[in-house]
Amino acid sequence: MKFEMITGGICAVKGVSAYGLKDGKYGLTLIAGKGTAAGAFTVNKLRAAPTEFTAKQIARGRLSAIIANSGCANCFTGEQGMRNAERMAELAATALQVPKAEVAVLSTGSIGTQLDMALIERQLGTVLEGVTIEPEGSMAAARGIMTTDTFPKEVAVRLEAESGESVVIGGIAKGSGMIAPHMNTATMLAVLYTDAAVATDALRSCLQDAVNDSFNMVIVDGDMSTNDSVLVVATGQRGPIGIETFRNGLTVVCKALAKLMARDGEGATKFVEVRVRDAPSVADAREAARAILRSPLVKSAIFGERIDLVCGRTIAALGSACITGELDQNKLAIGIKSETAEVLAVQNGQFLKLSESERAIMTAKELFLTVDFGTGGGAEATAWGCDLSYDYVKINAAY
Check: CB of residue 106 under 8 Å from CB of residue 145: yes
Q: How far apart are CA 361 and CA 308, in angstroms?
A: 12
How confident is the model at residue 322, as a pLDDT?
83
Determine whether 7 is an active site residue. no
Q: For every one of its 399 residues, what pLDDT tens digit does the chain have, with 9 covering 90 and above?
A: 788 999 999 999 999 999 999 999 999 999 999 999 999 999 889 999 999 999 999 999 999 999 999 999 999 999 999 999 999 999 999 999 999 999 999 999 999 999 999 999 999 999 999 999 999 999 999 999 999 899 999 999 999 877 778 999 999 999 875 444 444 433 689 999 999 999 999 999 999 999 999 999 998 765 678 899 999 999 999 989 999 999 999 999 999 999 999 988 777 899 999 999 999 999 999 999 999 999 999 999 999 999 999 999 999 999 988 888 778 999 999 999 999 999 999 999 999 999 999 999 999 999 999 999 998 889 999 999 999 888 877 777 765
Question: What is the set of domains in the chain, with CATH numbers?
Answer: 3-263 (3.60.70.12), 271-398 (3.10.20.340)
Contact 196, 161 (CB under 8 A): yes
Q: Which of 36, 51, 187, 251 is catalytic?
A: 187
pLDDT tens column, 83-95: 999 999 999 999 9
CA 300 from centre of chain: 23
Q: Which of 265, 255, 189, 262 is nearest to 227 (CA)?
A: 189
Contacts 24+ apart (CB under 8 A), 92-100: 92/30, 92/65, 92/66, 92/67, 92/124, 93/65, 95/30, 95/124, 95/128, 96/30, 96/32, 96/64, 96/65, 96/128, 98/32, 98/34, 98/64, 98/65, 99/64
